[in-house]
Amino acid sequence: MPKTEVILIQNIVGLGGESDLVKVAAGYARNYLFPQGLAVPVTAANKRRIEALKQRRAEREAHEFNTMTELSKSISKLLAVLQVKTGDDGKMFGAVTAGMIADQLKTQFDIVLDKRKIHLEHPIKTLGEHDIELRLHSEVVATLKLRVESVTPVALPAEALVSKDKEGAGKTESRGHKRSDRVREDKEAGDTGEAGEKAARPEKKPRAPRPEKAEKPAKAEQAGKAE
C-alpha cells in the first residue's frame, strides 16, 4: 500500500500533533485526512504554515496542561461511589471497568473524561475502596478514590435469624414481667395507703346517754297545792 507524507493541522491521537510531518496510507490521507481538514499535502506553500501550526500547538498544549492540573487537584478530593450487584456471598458479578468509572464520573460529578485516561492495573472484582490512577496528561497523573458498594441486600444466616427471634422473644417476656411487677407494686401501694388512711383516721367516741326527764306531777297534786 503506497504511503504519502502529510502535514497535520489538527492533533490526532496516536498519529501526532499540529505541524508534525507524518507518513500515512495514501488512501487514508485522500479519503479521510484531507476531506476532514486534519492534514494537508507536503508542498512549499504548506511548509510555510508549519511555524504558525507549531505556535498554535504550543498554546493548545499549555492550555491542556493547565486544565488537567486543575482537574487533578479537584479529583484528588473526590470519592466516587459505584454500586454493583453481588451474589449472596458478597462476590461481584463481573468486574469494574474503565468505562464504568468514566460513566460514574460523568453521572456523579459531571466530569467528562476519556476512558483511555483511566489506568487499571487489573480488573476490580472486590468491594471496598480502591485507588484509581488517572493519566490526564503526559505530565499530569491524578489518583481517584473509588468505593465499590453492593446493591444486593445481605441475607442473614439461619443461626443469626434464630438468635434474633430469641432475643426479640426475651425482650417481650422481660417487658411482660416488668409490667406484672409494676401492677403488683401499684396494688401493694394501694393496699398500704388504704390501711394507713384507716389507721390515721381517729376513732369516734361513743355518745353519752341523755338524762331522763323528770315526770310531771299529777294534776291532783297540782290542784291541792293551788288550794
Digitized pLDDT (tens) for each residue of the chain, 227 residues in all: 688 999 999 989 889 999 999 999 999 999 999 999 999 999 988 988 899 999 999 999 999 999 999 999 999 999 999 999 888 887 888 899 999 999 999 999 999 999 999 999 888 999 999 999 999 998 999 999 999 999 887 655 555 455 556 566 555 555 655 665 665 666 665 555 554 455 445 555 556 556 555 454 444 444 444 44
Instruction: Let me know whether 124 and 61 are in one domain.
Output: no
pLDDT of residue 170: 58
Instruction: Let me know whether 7 and 59 are in one domain.
Output: yes
Q: Strand ranges (DSSP E) for the chain?
A: 3-8, 21-25, 39-41, 79-84, 118-119, 128-137, 140-150
Torsion of CA 174, 177, 179, 183, to 10 degrees: -170
Query: Whole-angstrom Cα distance, residue 132 to residue 111?
Result: 15
**Which pTM was predicted?**
0.57
Instruction: Let me know whether 7 and 58 are in one domain.
Output: yes
Task: Give the domain extent around 142.
Answer: 74-150
What is the number of structural domains in the chain?
Answer: 2
**Any domain includes 59:** yes
Instruction: Let me know whether 78 and 140 are in one domain.
Output: yes
139-149 per-residue burial string, b: 16 or more CB within 10 A, e: under 16: ebebebebebe
By 3-state DSSP, what share of the chain in percent is helix, strand and coil, each rounded to 5? Answer: 45, 20, 35
What are the cell numbers at 59?
498554546
Query: Whole-angstrom Cα distance, residue 174 to residue 166?
Result: 12
Instruction: Let me know whether 145 and 84 are in one domain.
Output: yes
CATH of the domain at 60: 3.40.5.10
H or E element at residue 45: helix 44-47
The values of phi and psi at residue 155, to 5°, are: -85, 130
Instruction: Let me know whether 78 and 65 are in one domain.
Output: no
CATH of the domain at 87: 3.10.430.100
**Any domain includes 116:** yes
